[in-house]
Amino acid sequence: MSEAHDAVEVIIAKRDGAALTDSQIDWVVDAYTRGAVADEQMSALAMAVLLNGMDRHEISRWTAAMIASGERMDFSSLSRPTADKHSTGGVGDKITLPLAPLVAACGVAVPQLSGRGLGHTGGTLDKLESIPGWRAALSNDEMLAQLESVGAVICAAGDGLAPADKKLYALRDVTGTVEAIPLIASSIMSKKIAEGTGALVLDVKVGTGAFMKDLDRARELAGTMVGLGTDAGVHTVALLTDMSTPLGRTAGNAIEVAESVEVLAGGGPADVVELTLALAREMLAGAGREDVDPADRLADGSAMDAWQAMVRAQGGDPDAPLPTAREQHVVTAPSDGVLTRLDAMAVGLAAWRLGAGRARKEDPVQAGAGVVWHARPGDAVTARAPLFTLLTDDADRFDRALASLDGGYDIAPPGTSYTPDPLVIDRIA
């Protein structure tokens, strides 16, 4: 077949700083998905986008072209409104696990398509797969039925949603173009818009353990994604949240599930509860249910009921014991004092090196591996008392994990005052 455009012409246009036309964008995304544009050509275009950027219309059109490469889901048959959340990824970020059933308990359906961990950031599906019997792969019909009966589903995205993104994401990963904000934003939002949710809340992490280390860049990414959602008719809000300190007290898989269940039982770490409630309130507002206070649903046990129903619906046993690691190593505090810094990247790398994460997407993960920290910034610590517990099935991994933690925390003299940074830094709507 004769092609409407030529790949070199599109590359040169963006290389020279021009805005791509709608026709060029539609063609190049479709042609790349079909294989008519080669990987080396698309990598050259991705680099040109990284260096020269895209305007709001270009990014919106690029996102629409990515969506058009696959199917769109439709939840209009459900008896309740829908809302979803996307996090850009962090350390100890188990928020999806308590959040989805909590929002479902408030009368809003949550179609949460989640991913697996890569590098130092944990994957929601990896965490849930530590529950005996739980399965991530659902058909669209199974997903729809579960949303109607339970109100929440957390599962893997099918191959039908934005296949152009799957191909382009893998290419960006090996060509140094991951950081291009137009491509990050269109990657995330093409899948979320194709998913068909009515309202979307974005948790854009910023800090040492986040993909975005810089507040201005995080704000730019959040604003770009909110614009894309708004242009597509999806009620979209973003919260910028701190990821310099890891969330909660655990980073791993099964240990994060256990911590999530504590939150659903009305307990759990204060920061995890705070962020879960903040995101839940945004999701409920976007779905028109501001009349419900999610804190009440944590207190009355209905969020826990929704969690158990959600896990059972996907073949899991919510009452089964979670896997535990075969080996553990305790790191003690070197002195009395106050913990004033706990670096999220240091903890994330340690958990990854213990086996909780993967370096390549085909690598297996250990369900029981991870890091537990026994103090958070602001807490008093005592010399020789436990500061971290490292968990793994393979004791040979301890040395590299300990090297990750070296220099990853500060202990100030006893009595030092500590003022925490706010967890929610900004809201972009």
Is 60 within the bounds of a domain?
no
Pair 135, 315: CB distance under 8 Å: yes
Q: What pLDDT score was predicted for residue 240?
A: 98
Q: Is 360 a catalytic residue?
A: no
Does position 184 have pLDDT exceeding 80, yes or no?
yes
- Strands 250-252 and 152-156 come out as unpaired
Pair 185, 193: CB distance under 8 Å: no
411 phi and psi angles, rounded to 5 deg = -120, 120
116-139, pLDDT tens digit by residue? Answer: 876 777 789 999 999 999 999 999
**262 Rama class: left (phi>0) / alpha (psi -120 to 50) / beta:** alpha
What CATH number does the domain containing 25 carry? 1.20.970.10
Place of tokens 């297996």: 364
Q: Report the SS3 class of residue 274.
A: helix
Work out the average pLDDT over 79-106.
96
Identify which of 183, 146, 147, 154 has the alpha carbon closest to the alpha carbon of residue 167. 183
Same domain, 28 and 98: no
% of the chain at pLDDT higher than 90 = 90
217-235, pLDDT tens digit by residue? Answer: 999 999 999 999 999 999 9
The one catalytic residue in 172, 219, 297, 397 is: 172
Rounded CA gap, 269 and 246, in Å? 12
Does position 360 have pLDDT exceeding 70, yes or no?
yes
pLDDT band at 213 (very low <50, low <70, confident <90, very high): very high
The one catalytic residue in 126, 165, 231, 343 is: 165
Helix-then-strand count for the chain, H and E: 16, 13
Find the DSSP H helices in 16-55.
Answer: 22-34, 39-52
Same domain, 286 and 157: yes
Is 69 within the bounds of a domain?
no
Q: Is 86 a catalytic residue?
A: yes
Q: What pLDDT score was predicted for residue 1?
A: 65
Is 2 within the bounds of a domain?
no
Residue type at 176?
Answer: G
The one catalytic residue in 5, 61, 85, 86 is: 86
Domain that holds residue 343: 327-412
The one catalytic residue in 114, 130, 186, 187 is: 187
Same domain, 47 and 188: no
Q: Is 120 a catalytic residue?
A: no
Same domain, 94 and 21: no
Same domain, 30 and 162: no
The one catalytic residue in 127, 191, 192, 353 is: 191
Q: What pLDDT score was predicted for residue 313?
A: 98
Residue-averaged pLDDT of the chain: 95
What is the DSSP secondary structure assignment for residue 314, as one 8-state letter? T
Does position 4 have pLDDT exceeding 90, yes or no?
no
Q: What pLDDT score was predicted for residue 122?
A: 76
